[in-house]
Structure 1
Amino acid sequence: MLGTHDKSSFTLISLLITKALAQSSCSIPTSTAKYPAPSLASGYTARIIANGFQRPRSIIFDSEGHLLVVEAGKGITALTLNDAGGSCIGISSKATVIADTSLNHGIEMSPDGTTLYASNSDKAMRWAYDPKATKTNGNATILVQGMDNSDHTTRTILLSKKVNNTLLISRGSNENIDAIAADINSGHSQIRSFDIGGDTNSLNYATEGTRLGWGLRNSVGVAEHPASGGIYSVENSADNVDRDKEDIHNNNPGEEMNFHGYLNGTKANPDVQGGNYGYPNCYAAWNVSEIPQAGTLQTGSQFEIGDTINDKNCSSPIISPTLTFPAHWAPLDMKFNKAGSVAWITSHGSWNRQPPSGYLLYAVPFTTSGEPIASSNSTNSWQTIMSNPDNTKCPGSCFRPVGLAFDSKGRLFMTSDATGEIYVITATNGTGVDTASIAVDGSDAGGHSGSGSGAKTGEASTGGVNLALVCGIWALMMFFETG
């Protein structure tokens, strides 16, 4: 017969078993992938909640919990989730919000959930939005235009949570090495902010708004730190770069994380807002040992390319990156957790490197005051969370992450455009990752290091862990029964 203490322990164990069993089973049909199962860092699991999308890019949750997905070349689709808790999530219904084949990446939502924003290569627009019906009302209002390029056609948009009615737009270069971007008045390769309050509309990108930075080749991921309000971006740097007639493109230049100051009038130290980040003449070093005439260069230092080389041309006032990542990773989105202690970043992966690299989800730890923990010359400033087990199979047989969105439970949702999928990433116990502690390890810096433990693609990887947990708890129960 059990004593009082034993009864309490038995009750606790019963609750643990119930929870473990709930986490280890999922009645929602599983979507499967046609490529090898991704690898996951210890403590994480990933599950495909739906597939069959047309190049899913950026995503955002509306105020009613619908997941809105930009399908490039198709429009915006609203997904109603079938949520059984943890990673056990499916799609109960889909609805077309906007049918517009020109939409290709950008999406935002007003704080009250009644205005939807989206972009194409030339314009940023808004619509009145009904989150209960997942419908727009009326025609689009053009907010900003004059951004069309022949290359780098995505226009990332970000609505500031710190300064009302302020919309940030990132515009990339017209080609790999875009000479026009060297003209500050061109509007090429810049991030600008616009006051969209009242009836203001049809602003010209190159001549209106506030310039947050120029010389930014293609900064697709843009984020606002939730505590400090600091603006950060992640930049896709140049391909096929040589220096002193020597090909250095495989491991240089590095991809960049850049800081662009604040929107509320606070001055950065040094004051970087509106400054020149170097492109198309200056680039961030990643592997210095492969750069001719490297001199005193280190990771993150700006170096010059062209017919003549003088790296002094890339020193102040040219702004060096806050952090540098391996060449050709192609970071496409950046989302801070609520506390601002982690920046989650997607790496779409390389096409201009052998062996291929990137194709992963990684996380960069920040101080809560709004700065990366790692130094600017660090080569291990991140932790790889989710990656492909064999990058030599990429891009044909692997996931290629793009958009990120946290839900109200701290679970992280992620698109893979090339494979038409949406993932959910959680802790192995089914909870969100919004409060996850990140330890930098720089894994995958040389292509792929096999970081982390494997997780079965398309299924919650908690099953095996929870089975062991259940068995252990059951053994304890037998001890109490017979002890």
Structure 2
Amino acid sequence: MPEFNKSLLAGLLLIASEVHGQSVATSAASAAACSSTITPKNAQPSVAPGWTVQVIASGLKDPRGIIFDSSGHLLVVQQGHGISSLSLTNDAGACVRAEGAPKDIIVDSELNHGIELSPDGKTLYASSTQAVYSWDYDAAETRNTSEPKELIGQMGAANGHVTRTILLLRKTEGMLLVSRGSQSNLDVAAQDISTGVSTIKAFNVTNVTDSAYSHPRDGLLLGWGLRNSVGIAEDPATGAIYSVENSVDEFTREGQNIHQNNPGEELNFHGYLNGTSVEEQGQNYGYPSCFAAWNVSSIPSNGGVQVGTQVAIGDQNATINDTFCRQEHVAPRLTFPAHMAPLDMKFNSNGTAAWVTFHGSWDRTEPIGYKLSVIQFVNGSPVAAANSTTSTVDVVSNADLSKCPDDCFRPVGLAWDSQGRLFMSSDSTGEIYVVVPTHGNANEASPSSGLPPSATGTAPSAASSTGSAVRGYGKAGSWTALFAALLALPLI
């Protein structure tokens, strides 16, 4: 490396380290200003400049999906227990806290992840491995006022990926999306569209009869060949539907195990349900034969593929090969590093940013993920190119990835409250966090909005060995300059 670049790099790293200290100090000062604080179970999270993160509730049992009701209660799916309600204090910003013990709304050990509310707040939805249910709900009293009604059933046995994410669309009234993952790491049943395995489907819940929908047989298919798309989201501006997919483990290619850095996790586009027709809707996204390349250099016989290009697993043959993968399947809109495990995705109020929780790796020598990141969007599409390796900006992360997974928070669900604050569950630690900007509204913040984070989408998406959040140096546009300078350095 030339001496000039060495000096530049040293200066940039010094700036970043100074900002890290400022960020921690800011977060500590904010915590000190609150009337009460909850100490994280593990180390204090690392947070990007301009943001504050605090624990608002702890001691929960595997909290997964979360949502706010119309009276401001935070409803939490405690996996293996049921749905509980948290009443929060009226404190502003990050000083909000849960008051008292969680109140059980529905005690049912089969409920494990999915949760939704109707736009009027009077119908509660939740999912088990086998079915989606609804209840009449009274937000003022935080209680269900009816017995469960099975809306969608026949979703298979409790093996493999057992969560069933649900999302009630706002742009297309009455349409409930259901994401069902595979029954194993490489599930041949996903090759048969009639099984309903590894799909995202939409069901009209306004005209459900006394008989529940059959998941394999009924519903509108938005996509199949999706290994485990746990996070699904609707862009509030355009109605575009996206999912984030957990890709395959133990990936092999031509006899080589290259699973450490391949294949990549995916952000997939599934079209619209507002009458706009696109070729992606209802198509096959590759699983269990085809996957998105991430670390291209480690893929044998890669043929010059780029990040995000679909490549075949195993040994290529006349039937399953790279040409088949590229021509017959939908490629991801964005690709993330292998094993990051995205579990939720929420757009901000104007569709200029999508927030994604990365639960973190288990099948990788060096841990990766364990963070909350944001992606810049415009007109219903990510700003970053499909082959980008820098599409995400990290806002909250674990300070030391070497301690993961055992001593780290692991992000799962996201929810916005009426004040524009972002809440995040961590199942491994039984905690709920709140994430707020120092100034402005989190629900309006995006990488280009003038509110934190002030980067323009050029921040590295892969975590460093320390796991710290992306750093800036406090002024508008400063992240852009920092990362542009870093990216300009030659690779060695």
TM over 0.5: yes
Match of 1:7 in 2: none
Deviation, structure 1 residue 37: 1.8
CA contact (8 A) 1:23 1:430 kept: no
Matching of residue 234 in structure 1 with residue 251 in structure 2: no
Tell me the SS of whatever aligns to 1:296: coil
Find the counterpart in structure 1 of residue 53 from structure 2: 46
User: Sequence identity of aligned pairs in percent?
Assistant: 50
Q: After the TM superposition, which segments of 4 or more aligned residues of structure 1 sit over 6 Å from their partners?
A: none
When residues 148 and 389 of structure 1 are mapped into structure 2, their CA distance, relative to the original with a 3 A threshold, is same
C-alpha separation in 2, matches of 1:72 and 1:434:
31
Q: Distance in 2 between matches of 1:30 and 1:76?
A: 25
1:13 maps to which residue?
A: none
RMSD: 1.9
Tell me the SS of whatever aligns to 1:353. Answer: coil
CA deviations on 1:88-128 (whole Å, 9 max, x unpaired) are 01111331111111000000000000000000000001000
Partner Cα separation in structure 2 for residue 341 and residue 115 of structure 1:
29
* CA distance in 2: counterparts of 1:371 and 1:278, whole angstroms: 21
Per-residue CA shift, 1:252-300, capped at 9, x if unaligned?
Answer: 00000000000122112xx111000000000000000000000121100
Whether the 8 Å contact between 1:329 and 1:358 is mirrored in structure 2 is yes
Shift of residue 441 of structure 1?
A: 3.4
Match of 1:12 in 2: none
Q: Is the 8 A contact 1:237 1:256 kept in 2?
A: yes
Deviations 1:311-367 (CA, angstroms, capped at 9, x unpaired): 001012300000000000000000000000000000000000110100000000000
User: Distance in 2 between the 1:375 and 1:444 partners?
Assistant: 14
Find the residue that maps to 1:148 and give its secondary structure: coil
Distance of aligned partners of 1:295 and 1:183 in 2 relative to their CA distance in 1, 3 Å threshold: same
Q: CA deviation at 1:435?
A: 2.5
Aligned to 1:184: 193
Q: Which residue of 2 aligns with 1:424?
A: 434
Contact 1:341 / 1:366 at 8 angstroms: preserved in 2?
yes
Instruction: State how 1:51-450 maps to structure 2 within 5 Å.
Output: 51-93=58-100, 94-149=102-157, 150-200=159-209, 201-268=211-278, 271-309=279-317, 310-367=321-378, 369-429=379-439, 431-437=441-447, 438-443=455-460, 445=462, 447-448=464-465, 450=467
Larger radius of gyration, structure 1 or 2? Answer: 1
SS for the counterpart of 2:297 is helix
Q: Unaligned regions of 5+ residues in structure 2, if any?
A: 1-28, 448-454, 475-492
Unpaired runs of at least 5, structure 1: 1-21, 455-464, 466-483
Query: Offset at 1:449?
Result: 5.6
- How far the C-alpha of 1:25 sits from its partner, in A, is 4.7
Give the C-alpha shift of residue 450 in structure 1. 4.7
Question: Retained in 1: the 8 A contact 2:81–2:107?
Answer: yes
**Higher RCO (CA-CA < 8 Å; seq separation 6+):** 1
User: In the alignment, is the contact (CA less than 8 A) between 2:195 and 2:216 conserved in 1?
Assistant: yes
Q: What is the Cα deviation at residue 306 of structure 1?
A: 2.8
Aligned length: 433
- Give the SS at the match of 1:138: coil
3-state SS of paired residue (1:289): helix
CA contact (8 A) 1:181 1:215 kept: yes
Q: Which residue of 2 aligns with 1:18?
A: none
Q: CA deviation at 1:33?
A: 2.1
Per-residue deviation, 1:196: 1.1
Amino acid at match of 1:134: T
Preserved CA contact (<8 Å) 2:459 2:470: no
CA contact (8 A) 1:119 1:155 kept: yes
TM-score by length of 2: 0.85
Q: Which moved more, 1:140-149 or 1:101-110?
A: 140-149
TM-score, structure 1 as length reference: 0.86
